[in-house]
């Protein structure tokens, strides 16, 4: 018994798989010709394929059909690759990317700094500007705003409540 299957009951693994897939998918799994089930397991090539397919988002049915293995073989010999293939692949890729960045790849370094630099290396810059604007001609304002928007400047504005005639807004409230 391998380290992957120690303490794992095959019937339990099969029932776990049956809960994860529909009846029609289960029938198609049982109909698979177990071509690779005659191999000595675990097989390194199949192990890598199961991990890659797990990372790519394949279902158990698709993995079994593609690799020509039964669901029992998948869970008995490749359970770790199936359940942890995604996270293991992410770790390998991020390690490889970090090595490339340290070896001098500008592209890898820039990507890692933007992705993991906690906001220090973003291309986006935010400028907070609090000002009052007096609009004399709405058409002029709209033209100016459309010019800013075409240049990629984003304007986040909350309109002030309209003043009712006869009421004054205190100076501290209008200077936002």
DSSP reduced 3-state for 127 = coil
- Better-scored residue on pLDDT, 10 or 163: 163
Domain boundaries, the chain: 1-126
For residues 38-50, average pLDDT: 83
Task: Tell me: pLDDT of 41 over 90.
Answer: no
pLDDT of amino acid 133 = 63
36 — pLDDT class (breaks 50, 70, 90): low
Q: pLDDT digit string (tens) for 55-91? A: 999 999 999 988 988 888 899 999 999 999 889 888 8
Rounded to two decimals, the pTM is 0.45
16-25's contacts with Cβ under 8 Å and 24+ in sequence apart are 16/75, 17/60, 17/71, 17/74, 17/75, 20/60, 21/59, 21/60, 21/61, 25/59, 25/60, 25/61
Q: pLDDT digit string (tens) for 118-169? A: 777 777 666 676 766 676 777 877 887 777 777 777 666 676 677 666 656 5
Task: Tell me: pLDDT of 8 over 50.
Answer: no
Query: Among 27, 36, 30, 31, which Cα is nearest to 67's?
Result: 36
Task: Tell me: pLDDT of 47 over 70.
Answer: yes
């Amino acid at each position: 018994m391998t380290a992957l299957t120690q303490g794992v009951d095959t019937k339990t693994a099969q029932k776990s798989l049956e809960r994860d897939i529909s009846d029609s998918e289960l029938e198609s799994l049982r109909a698979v010709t177990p071509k690779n089930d005659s191999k000595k397991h675990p097989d390194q090539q199949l192990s890598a394929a199961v991990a890659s397919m797990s990372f790519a988002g394949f279902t158990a049915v698709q993995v079994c059909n593609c690799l020509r293995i039964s669901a029992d073989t998948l869970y008995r010999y490749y359970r770790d690759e199936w359940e942890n293939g995604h996270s293991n692949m992410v770790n390998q890729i991020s390690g490889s990317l970090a090595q490339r960045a340290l070896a001098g790849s500008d592209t890898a370094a820039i990507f890692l700094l933007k992705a993991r630099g906690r906001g220090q290396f973003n291309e986006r810059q935010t400028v907070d500007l609090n000002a009052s604007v007096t609009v004399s001609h709405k058409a002029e304002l709209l033209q100016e705003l459309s010019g800013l928007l075409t240049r990629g400047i984003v304007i986040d504005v909350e309109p002030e409540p309209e003043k009712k005639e006869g009421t004054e807004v205190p100076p501290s409230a209008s200077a936002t």
